Homo-oligomer: A and B are copies of this chain.
Amino acid sequence: MLSTIRVRYAETDQMGVVYYANYLVWMEVARVEYCKSVGFSYEEMEREDGIFLAVAEANCRYLYPARFDQEVTIETTLSGAHPRMVKFAYQMRLAGGGRKLASGETKHVFVGRDLKPAQLPEKYWANFGIGGSAPQP
């Protein structure tokens, strides 16, 4: 799944490049689009099931700075999933086959409204390829 964003002025800092925390915002944008692309609605799960996707871990390696008004592509892949957890990996590049800017990974756990660990409702399993290959008794 490929997402595209354009760097906002708000996202730059006085070094003249994108402030490092904003790459995590871009990962979120890309993750939401990834979820939609596999037929999974973040917003619906929150509203209907009271299940949220809490971030457990995030990391980012910064290779080359992004600048204002550049178009950046974020390639998102599902790098792991089971009923309590999903992991996504991200590759950020200048649009147009350009230079690699950064790569990252986020790990998420499903939680209820009380923020205690929960299971992803089974109706969403197929969206993340969970339980798909195992025989169902």
Partner-B contacts on A (CB < 8 A): 6, 8-10, 12-17, 19-22, 24-25, 28-29, 32, 42-43, 46, 52, 54-62, 65, 67-69, 115
Tell whether A25 pairs with B21 under 8 Å between CB atoms, given A61-B57, A69-B43: yes
Determine if A62 and B69 form an interchain contact, defined as CB atoms under 8 angstroms apart.
no
Contact of A9 among B10, B32, B56, B115 (CB under 8 A): B32
Determine if B62 and A57 form an interchain contact, defined as CB atoms under 8 angstroms apart.
yes
Determine if A12 and B13 form an interchain contact, defined as CB atoms under 8 angstroms apart.
yes
Copies of this chain, how many?
4
Determine if B15 and A13 form an interchain contact, defined as CB atoms under 8 angstroms apart.
no
Minimum CB distance partner of A16 in chain B: B14
Q: How far is the CB of A127 from chain B (nearest CB, A)?
A: 16
Contacts of A12 in B (CB 8 A): 13-14
